[in-house]
């Protein structure tokens, strides 16, 4: 599996656990990686992604060396993560 780093979000489909495992083992520090993206950019999708991001909080405490964020792209929303130097 190869990580796709974010400059402009692109839609990818991988499980969160697989992305975290790959990021922890071979990820580049301070580069954002897409966890999941929406297909549209509507108010309903924004709310859904905010709820989904809050659902990722189990990973927040388990991996303190990861930083999570919600990214608002031109035509979609994404949940993104990066490995920060400890």
Higher pLDDT, 60 or 82: 82
Tell me the range of 7-11, 13-17, 43-47, 53-57 where mean pLDDT is highest.
Answer: 43-47
DSSP result, 41-77: --HHHHHHHHHHHHHTHHHHHH-TTEEEEEEE-SS-E
**pLDDT for the residue numbered 9:** 52
**pLDDT for the residue numbered 10:** 47
Average pLDDT rounded to a whole number, residues 60-71: 85
pTM of the predicted protein model? 0.72
Tell me what the pLDDT averaged over the chain comes to.
81
**pLDDT for the residue numbered 8:** 59
**pLDDT for the residue numbered 32:** 92
Between CA 52 and CA 79 the distance in angstroms is 8
């Amino acid at each position: 599996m190869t990580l796709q780093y974010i400059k402009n979000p692109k839609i990818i489909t991988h499980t969160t656990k697989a992305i975290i495992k790959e990021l922890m083992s071979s990820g580049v520090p301070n580069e954002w990686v897409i966890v999941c993206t929406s297909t549209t950019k509507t108010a309903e999708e924004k709310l859904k992604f905010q709820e989904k991001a809050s659902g990722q909080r189990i990973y927040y405490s388990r991996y303190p060396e990861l930083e999570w964020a919600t990214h608002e792209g031109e035509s979609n929303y994404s949940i993104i993560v990066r490995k920060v130097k400890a």
